[in-house]
Structure formats: structure tokens, C-alpha cells
Amino acid sequence: MAKMKAVRLYAPGDLRVEEVDVPEVGDHQVLVKVRAVGVCGSDPGRVMKKGTYSYPTTIGHEFSGEVVRLGKYVKSYQIGDRVTVIPLIPCGHCDYCRVSKFNLCDDYSYYGSRTDGAMAEYVVVEESNLLKLPDAVDFESGACTDPIAIALHALRQAKVEGGNSVAVLGVGPIGLFAVQWAKIMGAKEIFAVDIFEEKLKVAKEVGADVVVNAREMDPVAFIMEKTQGCGVDRVIEIAGSKITQEQSLRMVGKEGVVAFCGISYDDLTIPVKTLDGLLRKEIHIVGAWNSGFAPLPVHEWKLSLTFVAKGQIRCQPIISHRFTLDEAPEVFRRLWNRTEFFNKVLFIP
């Protein structure tokens, strides 16, 4: 069998680059030659601490590439098609799948954690998880479709409307895409909050009206002052920190919405004063998990690609590093130890 290079996790912290067989293609699958694969914010923790669901596993779930082999019954794609891939593989049988809420599937699989992913030269993908890239979308931007769609889902969960004021807490890649979506949706004022000046600089470049360095000032006090004590209409919490989660509840205004999107690893204790404000302001708290890819009411992946193709969602300002597969073990150590600034990291097989 033909061989390929792949980045494989054998145990938390044990990441290896090795030669493996190019995977076989099933009847309803295609083989994709990976052109770009991104590092999700959850990946360093999974690789270095949490682990995957079996071992060894090829990691990587944000990717794009080119179709190079077709399964027997594949009809919608051709060899040479440029594609991106939805990483969540729904079971298709549970109650949530039956109503097309695939992100809430009870028994899903997932590229890069529950089945082999795309940090490799080739990956086998279900036909139903493929989407063609528009001509105007390059492979690197195509590999960013997942965080773009996640950001869109968070804003839709928060019911962001034209004229709203919006605060985005945590402006890594998903937060930076959230800033761009808020602008597209007609937000009258967008606050970007983070503790890294490098990220805030990019947030300003892609559309934030006001940036707040939470290391230098209290973001709640600052935003309340800027909004004449009213607070913002919508808060998108993406940092996944108990600190920013609690701050979200204090900076939102009456009848406002807070969407929790960031994955948290800590318990959230709500101080009594914050809880009192939640009650008295009748705040709405919603969760935002993954993204929607049902045809109706909005296929968030297709809409994301449309706006990337139009140039209204920009990926290049967010991409900070590009590496080869051979560099993966060292790169993940650097990401985990936070020895330097990283934004969106891509591997180019």
C-alpha cells in the first residue's frame, strides 16, 4: 500500500510524526489530499493533557484539500474538486439528527478525536461531510471554515441584530471571526476584550470599534462607562474562562443575551451581586455548541463560505503561523507552554 506522513497521538503528550498507510476509501467516502489543516483552540489541551478517545489517532479537524479518489457510490463530487470538511459526523438516527440539529447529535463521531483526522497528507472523509470551496476561497481560508461557522452560530444563538452593541470576550480566531460577523450583522458598536495586545491589534484591523486590554483595565467598568451605565446588548464569551464568564453577566444590559461559546475547564461560581443583577436585569444566557449545517433555516457552513468568497470575512489577517507536519510535536509543546504569541496556526502538509 502507498504510504503517507501523519501526526499521531499515542497518549497525552506523546505526539509522533510517522509513515502510515494511505487509508482505504469506503463506498460513500472520498480520499482528500490535505492542503491546509488548522489548530483549534481545543487541540493543545487535547494533545497535551486530555487525549483522544482511542490510540493512536491522527489529530486535526479544521482542514481543506482536494478530492483525489472516489468511493463506489459517490455522485456529488469529482476528482480534483477543492473542498472543506465538516468535522462532526452525525449518527443520522437520534432524535436530534431526525430534526437536523446535527450539532446536538447523541452519538456523533469527530475527525481528529474520535476517528482519524487531517493532520496528514491524506484523509478519508464521508461524502456527506464535504463542501465545495467557491473559486474565490483559497485552501488556507477553506481550512478556517470551522471556526468561522462556530462564530456565526454563537452570534445567531445570541440573536444579534442590527443596531445592537456587542462585546466579544476572547479574540483568538473564533473571537476575531465573531467580530467580523457582528459587523456584517449591523452591530452599532463592537467591543473586543482580551489580555494580549497582539490579538487586540488584529481585532481592530478586522472591525472592532473599541478594544479593551483586560490586563490593563477592568473591562466591565470600562464598558459600563462607555455605555452610560446601560451595558451592551449582546455578549459573546469565547475565552472559556470563569473570569470572563462572570464578567459577561455584569457587562450585559437589561434583557440582554450572553452566549457562552468558549470551552471551560473550571467551575463557575457566580457572586451574589452578579446573580442579583442577572435576576433584576432579566438576562438571557444561552449555550453555543459547534455549528449548524442543516439546509434550513441557515446552513452556517455554506453561509460562511459565501461571505469568505465575497471578501467580507477575512482569514489572512488572523493566520499567524504556518508549519510542516514534521514540526508538529515541537509546535504543540510551544502552544501548550505559551512561550510566544500564536493566533491561527496552520500546518501545510
Model confidence at 135, pLDDT cuts 50, 70, 90, reads: very high
According to the model, what pLDDT value does residue 302 have? 98
Q: What whole-number distance in Å separates Cα of residue 294 and Cα of residue 102?
A: 7
Are residues 205 and 112 located together in one domain of the fold?
no
pTM: 0.95
Residue 75: give its domain's CATH number: 3.90.180.10
For residue 27, pLDDT beyond 80: yes
| Terminal Cα distance for the chain, rounded | 20
Question: Are residues 28 and 117 part of one domain?
Answer: yes
Angle, vertex CA 51, rays to CA 142 and CA 261, nearest 5: 55
313/296 Cα distance (integer angstroms): 22
Taking the C-alpha atoms of residue 38 and residue 149, their distance in angstroms, rounded to an integer, is 14
Whether residue 280 has pLDDT greater than 80: yes
Q: Compute the average pLDDT of residues 253-276.
A: 95
CB within 8 Å of 338: residues ≥ 6 apart: none
Q: What's 161's domain CATH number?
A: 3.40.50.720
Q: Is 236 helix (H, G, I), strand (E, B) or coil?
A: strand
Residue 304, class by beta-carbon neighbours within 10 Å (0-12 exposed, 13-18 middle, 19+ buried)?
A: buried
**CB 158, CB 255: distance < 8 Å:** no
User: Does residue 92 sit within a domain?
Assistant: yes
196 and 85 in a single domain? The answer is no
Domain assignment present for residue 296? The answer is no
- Which residue segment(s) compose the domain that 202 sits in? 148-287
**DSSP assignment string, 170-225:** --SHHHHHHHHHHHHTT-SEEEEEES-HHHHHHHHHHT-SEEEETTTS-HHHHHHH
Are residues 123 and 23 both part of a single domain? yes
Q: Which helix (H) or strand (E) holds 168?
A: strand 165-169
Say whether both 117 and 242 belong to one domain: no
> Do 252 and 240 sit in the same domain of this protein?
yes
Q: pLDDT tens digits for 148-201? A: 999 999 999 999 999 999 999 999 999 999 999 999 999 999 999 999 999 999
Alpha carbons 44 and 25: distance in angstroms, whole number:
29
Check whether 118 has a pLDDT greater than 70.
yes
The total number of structural domains in the chain stands at 2
CA–CA distance, 144 with 105 (Å, rounded to integer): 23
Tell me the pLDDT of the chain averaged across its residues: 97
Max CA distance (Å), the chain: 67
What pLDDT does 141 receive? 98
Question: Are 259 and 188 contacting, i.e. CB atoms less than 8 angstroms apart?
Answer: no
- Say if residue 12 is in the same domain as residue 112: yes
Asked if residue 173 and residue 108 are part of one domain, the reply reads no
**Cis ω on the peptide bond leading into residue 56 (within 30° of 0)?**
yes
Q: Is residue 303 part of a domain?
A: no
Q: Rg of the chain over CA atoms, in angstroms? A: 20
Are 324 and 272 members of one domain?
Answer: no
* pLDDT score of 265: 85
pLDDT beyond 80 at 253: yes
- Burial of 112 (C-beta count, 10 Å sphere; 0-12/13-18/19+): buried
What pLDDT does residue 1 have?
67
- The answer to whether residues 123 and 192 belong to one domain is no
pLDDT surpasses 90 at 339? no
